[in-house]
Amino acid sequence: MKIGTKFIHAGMEPDPSTGAIMTPVYMTSTYVQEAPGVNKGFEYARSQNPTRKALEEALATIENGQYGLAFSSGVAATDAVLKLLAPGDEVVTGNDLYGGTYRLFTKVFERFGIKFKYVDMGSLETVEAAMSAATKLIWLETPTNPLMNIGDIAAISNIAKSRGALLCVDNTFASPYLQNPLDNGADIVMHSSTKYLGGHSDVIQGALVVNEKGLYDQLYFIQKSCGAVPGPMDCFLVLRGIKTLHLRMQRHCENGEKIAHWLRNHPKIGKVYWCGFEDHPGYSVAKKQMRGFGGMMSFELKDNSVEAAKKVLSGTHLFSLAESLGGVESLINHPASMTHASIPREERIKNGLSDSLIRLSVGVEDADDLIEDLARAIG
């Protein structure tokens, strides 16, 4: 199936009891068994739910994987991956990382004896140099949040495999419409389904997709044992969101390209971070592994002060000042005080995330209206 057809039909089977074309929302906590251990494939809703099962099949399909797992949030999905590790294991990850992931790594898993190395994932030499005998996982965001840096999935997969480590790719910013990390050698794909998969800012959910049965079994055991499962209504909402993912992403990409170029040509804008610029250091890799460049970007004003940034952040009307991303509506965000506030300032500054950086999640509104909104706010 072509990609648009795949998104619409993934996980879709008519309900066997009624023929309903949409997957029903199974609001139940348990299932009646004919005899002990004799059931219809469902025992208890923390372990299985028919709505969740349909979503997990859809997630596997759209990421070209074999097995999908739906979690109660993206952080819960990340947490499950880290629970594959043991004290003394090491993780190599990016120095430009979503603040919630950084917080989970530093404030939770470091306490259990897991070591994290934060490096420039755009440099294969740096990634290679960070590996050791204790490295069991490479955690890669590409594009990164919020500086839009690019990591070469295939090349980093080769590094991981040569050292016996797993590669997990956070594919939230790209979505399965723009890239499929398993096709490039990743072992695990993670999504905050809250973002582009759901697409309507009305659900919190996470996802993992893998190809290897043994790895799936481990992750399923962790999910079942630790309990970070989504409710059936949330699963229904993400299933519904996936059906229009290709349509939404097409518009996100179109609008993103227009706004990125408009920002770059604005006399008051200093630097624009968007991986679709041909002079972006990761452009050639992005072009190789992605189908488009998306609607996520960040920028700095020439007046690179927090005061000037706050004036812009509070001056938009169509761009709503809020955390999150990937919804149909456009959002504007201040990473230093919002999504990345948990990262110490000195670490943020060292890695290029300034106090005045502004992040945009460009929605699917009319691009000219969005440009006019930004023009008024920037002045």
The residue annotated as part of the active site, out of 195, 243, 248, 359, is 195
Active site residue 345: no
Please state the rounded mean pLDDT for residues 71-97: 97
Taking CA atoms, 140 is separated from 150, 198, 261, 358, in Å, by 9, 22, 27, 22
Question: Active-site residue among 170, 187, 234, 373?
Answer: 170
Is 213 considered catalytic here?
Answer: no
Per-residue confidence (pLDDT) for residue 348, from 0 to 100: 82
26, 67, 98, 196: the catalytic one is 98
Residue range 119-161, pLDDT digits in tens: 999 999 999 999 999 999 999 999 999 999 999 999 999 999 9
pLDDT digits (tens, 9 = 90+) for 156-179: 999 999 999 999 999 999 999 999
- 264 pLDDT higher than 90: yes
Catalytic residue among 6, 31, 46, 310: 46
Tell me the CA end-to-end span of the chain in Å, nearest whole number. 47
pLDDT at 34 over 80: yes
Residue 339 has pLDDT above 80, yes or no: no
Residue ranges of alpha helices (H) inside the chain are 3-9, 50-62, 74-82, 99-103, 124-130, 153-162, 175-178, 213-226, 232-243, 245-264, 283-289, 306-313, 345-350, 367-378
Please check the confidence at residue 95 and state whether its pLDDT lies above 90.
Answer: yes
Decide if 170 is catalytic. yes
Say whether pLDDT at 213 is over 90: yes
Which residue stretches of 66-182 are H helix?
Answer: 74-82, 99-103, 124-130, 153-162, 175-178
To the query of whether residue 373 is one of the catalytic residues in this protein, the response is no
